[in-house]
Amino acid sequence: MDIKYHEIKKIVLSPIVLALTVLFIAFNLFVIYDNSYISNDLKIINNIIDEFGYKIDDSMVDNINTSYKTRLEELNKITKDKLGKTYSSMEEFLDGEYHYTNIYDSDVFTKEELNFFDEINILELYLFLVTEQVNSYESIDILKVKDVEIKSFGLSGEAKEIAEKRYEILNKRFEEIKENKEHKNLFFYGKAYRTHNLLFDNIFSKCIYEIMILVVLITAYLINYEFDNNTSLLVYSTKRGRNNTKDKFIVCLFSAIIISTIILGITLLAYFLVFDYSKVLNIPINSAFNWEYPMPYINLFKNTVIQQIILSIIVVSLCSLIFAAITFIISKLVKNSYIVFFIFFIVFAINIMIPTLVGKSSALTMYLHFDVFNLILNPSMWFMSKVPFTVTKYHEVITIFAWMIITLVGSICCVKIFKKQDIN
């Protein structure tokens, strides 16, 4: 019977792997639940986009304004009847003395009326922001930010020269975004809901670390199974014995993809069941509303939300293969699965630290970020500008391709060396 079947069976029957998988998924579901308080607002924003479209122009602003006034009249009919008051805006209504004491903590209004108030509140917010966000976005001066950022990182010499060139490249891309009107699209208001950070940093970040832990455990467990159970002399003394290493390596890679699919699949399915993205998937990620920090996210491509999600899934899956290959190499050098696990994360820590140890005036510090371990630190910035250290359009592609080649060659060499290695 094929050795691969037996290796897969070891994984499926491993209580540690099963327990950790369930634990990680449960934790991710808790994180989603913990943030579910914004889900109702996101549904309302989807309804706004469905009603008015997502492309921002004068016609949209006029339509939102007309609809808002109509709904405000409806609000005042309700409040006149039940409170004897009328309001010039939703903000005045929410700031009034009746807000919590006589509205939400009593039976003055029905549930349907309270939902209607939430809709008007968000519509008023978007009416106020729709022009302000675009104007604020267009007023950003990338080259003015450049000097402040470079100084804050303490760059000098060749590193500073490279950083300045990267800001010039970024400025051209930013002007292109404004010219293409990629920013003139409605989206979830970033500074209020932070959905980009929630999905691409919080959720994807947790998933990739969970996948990394499981992949390292599985690979170390399979490759050193015979050594851990003191059967290596018996198994590897047979004619077929040492050739099993290739089958084990293939199973490890296959397992990495399966683990990635399970963790990401269940987590993302739960995420999108809770948070409604139905009307925003085809909106450019460079929307002026998708702005959460002092500097907005600047996507180097013209990615839509769905494209960004798909690319992020691909990055996680490919990184899982690299983690499996790195662990395989370590496992062929160290014949103990527990030690392999700790060595992997020591390598991880060293790779993270290296860029900080290089002088801030050296050009080398600007290129050390082409590293798979540094890559996974911030999934929210994949395919985005990360000035001053990276603004290369294909940074993720180059990093993953280079590391896949290096680890594949390293794995092949380990297989060949092991065939001639003394295992006593």
- Please tell me the distance from the alpha carbon of residue 33 to that of residue 28, in angstroms, as a whole number: 9
- Please tell me the distance from the alpha carbon of residue 94 to that of residue 98, in angstroms, as a whole number: 8
269 has pLDDT over 80: yes
- Please tell me the distance from the alpha carbon of residue 89 to that of residue 75, in angstroms, as a whole number: 10
Residues in the chain: 424
Nearest of 352, 396, 379 to residue 202 by alpha carbon: 379
What pLDDT is stored for residue 310 in this prediction?
Answer: 97
What pLDDT is stored for residue 94 in this prediction?
Answer: 80
What pLDDT is stored for residue 1 in this prediction?
Answer: 47
More confident residue, 416 or 121: 121
Averaged pLDDT for residues 298-303: 91
Which residue type occupies 79?
T
Over the stretch 305-323, which tens digit does the pLDDT of each residue have? Answer: 999 999 999 999 999 999 9
Distance of CA 241 to the CA centre of its chain: 42
Nearest of 325, 313, 336 to residue 260 by alpha carbon: 313
- Number of Cβ within 10 Å of residue 248's Cβ equals 22
Handedness of CA 57, 59, 63, 69 (dihedral sign): positive
Please state the pTM of the whole predicted model. Answer: 0.91
CA angle 308, 322, 368 (to 5 degrees): 80
228 has pLDDT over 80: no
233 has pLDDT over 60: no
- Residue where the block lists tokens 């308080």: 37
CA angle 373, 311, 30 (to 5 degrees): 75
Q: Which of 33-37, 222-226, 246-250 has the lowest mean pLDDT?
A: 222-226
What pLDDT is stored for residue 242 in this prediction?
Answer: 57
- Please tell me the distance from the alpha carbon of residue 116 to that of residue 140, in angstroms, as a whole number: 36
Q: Using pLDDT thresholds of 50, 70 and 90, give the confidence band for residue 391.
A: low
- Please tell me the distance from the alpha carbon of residue 160 to that of residue 406, in angstroms, as a whole number: 30
226 has pLDDT over 80: no
Radius of gyration of the chain from Cα atoms? 27
In Å, the largest CA–CA distance within the chain is 92
Average pLDDT along the chain: 88
Residues pairing with 299 in the sheet: 384
More confident residue, 45 or 90: 45
Q: Which of 30-39, 212-221, 380-389, 401-410 has the lowest mean pLDDT?
A: 380-389
Averaged pLDDT for residues 185-213: 95
